[in-house]
Amino acid sequence: MADGKRIGILTSGGDCAGLNAVLRAVVRDASGRGWTVLGIEHGTQGLMESPPRAHVLENNDFDGTIMRQGGTILGSSNYGNPFAFPQLDGPDLDRSDDVIAGYKALRLDALIGIGGDGSIAILNKLAQKGGLNLVCIPKTIDNDVGVTEVSLGYDTAVQVATDALDMLQPTAASHDRVMILEVMGRDAGHIALVAGIAGGADVILIPEIPYRIANIVTKIRNLQASGRRFALVVVAEAVPNEAGNKIVQKYAGGRSAYGGIGHLLGDRLAETTRAEVRVTVLGHVLRGAAPDARDRLMANIFGVHAVDLIAEEKFGRMVAWRDRQAVDIPIEEAVAEPALVDVNGPVVRTARQLGICLGDE
């Protein structure tokens, strides 16, 4: 490939903090090399349309407030798999050929896809089908993309959840209440576990560790017996009810997502402990914050490494952070297994040694 490349960039899946920062990093580095960067709107949906929905991104687009903001100026979608694209009426349609045609119509030399494991797997399938030169960057508040130690957006989400606990503690103490905080993290308990430790939680429930209500009740009673009249409980949205069923919130239009375990747990704890219980569901607040310093740094490191990969024509790879190094790995390897909480790892052990109840004992 000669210099003066045209590269596309898109954000796919649920948004998170740091997406605008990574767009800026790519645009800065690529434009410094004399390349053109096209921002594709609403993930692969922008490529599906004819003409594709994309516009040139310039350095000046980002240097003011945008790099500091949550969300993504390109837009994103959680429900647009081009291999089974939802139709208003009728069955899903395979629109993968339209996406590939969009990439070709834009005369792209390469595409940077920023996504979680689901989006990255779909982008990789498109790349393999259409011969697209793909490089991916991991982002998700859930931090469950395999192999990389950190995904964009996670650190900020943990900070938001920790701030929430800091604000719940005084009101819990003032009213002698059990405060339950439900946090996102589809199928992975990283946010709940880390924010719970940082925010001084007494009980942390994560989907990786089965729990019994009786153990939580004992913990709360022991706290009360010791003179502590409030308790902080963090529960991850993917924690099932006592029967082992995950709690799902159905939205108008037929879509659904996890949500509701906090209130179920609240009712059970109110019945069994006689304590006054209140529930806060953080939900999408975890996604919309401005990126913290760590997420901004990772955005810049990942963005620059992705541009390097394109310069070296190393495609089909995802950038990752391991052992304090920016590395890149084959996409198949990255999405083979989700990175769940290691129940025998140092973070879980730390929680146990601190006397935090994880529900299993």
Closest approach, Cβ 283 to ligand F6P, in A, equals: 8
| Catalytic option among 15, 142, 144, 202 | 142
Positions in 267-306 near ligand F6P (CB under 6 A)? 287
The residue whose Cβ lies closest to ligand F6P is 184
| H/E run at residue 235 | strand 231-236
- 184 contacts ligand F6P (rule: CB under 6 A): yes
- 341 contacts ligand F6P (rule: CB under 6 A): no
- Specify the long-range contacts of residues 131-134, CB closer than 8 Å, at least 24 apart: 132/100, 132/103, 132/108, 133/108, 133/109, 133/310, 133/313, 133/315, 134/110, 134/315, 134/316, 134/331
- 80 contacts ligand F6P (rule: CB under 6 A): no
Between 12 and 124, whose beta carbon lies closer to ligand F6P? 12
Contact 148, 321 (CB under 8 A): yes
DSSP-derived letter for residue 141 is T
Amino acid at 13: G
Between 231 and 239, whose beta carbon lies closer to ligand F6P? 239
Contact 335, 117 (CB under 8 A): yes
Closest by CA position to 330, among listed 151, 136, 143, 139: 136
Between 57 and 120, whose beta carbon lies closer to ligand F6P? 120
- 173 contacts ligand F6P (rule: CB under 6 A): no
Rounded to whole angstroms, how far apart are CA atoms 215 and 235?
A: 14
Positions in 106-125 near ligand F6P (CB under 6 A)? 116
Is 142 annotated as catalytic?
A: yes
- 230 contacts ligand F6P (rule: CB under 6 A): no
For residue 18, the number of C-alpha atoms closer than 13 Å in the C-beta half-sphere is 30
- 190 contacts ligand F6P (rule: CB under 6 A): no
Q: Mind spelling out the 3-state secondary structure of 291-329?
A: CCHHHHHHHHHHHHHHHHHHHCCCCCEEEEEECCEEEEE
- CA angle at 42 for the pair 36 and 43, rounded to the nearest 5°: 70
Positions in 131-150 near ligand F6P (CB under 6 A)? 140-142
- 257 contacts ligand F6P (rule: CB under 6 A): yes
Between 41 and 142, whose beta carbon lies closer to ligand F6P? 142
Between 38 and 205, whose beta carbon lies closer to ligand F6P? 205
- Among 24, 28, 177, 186, contact with ligand F6P (rule: CB under 6 A): 186
- 42 contacts ligand F6P (rule: CB under 6 A): no
- 71 contacts ligand F6P (rule: CB under 6 A): no
- Among 39, 71, 102, 185, contact with ligand F6P (rule: CB under 6 A): 185
Q: Which residues contact 285 (CB under 8 A, 6 or more apart)?
A: 160, 164
Catalogue the active-site residues: 142
Residues that bind ligand F6P (CB under 6 A): 14, 78, 116, 140-142, 184-186, 237, 257-258, 287
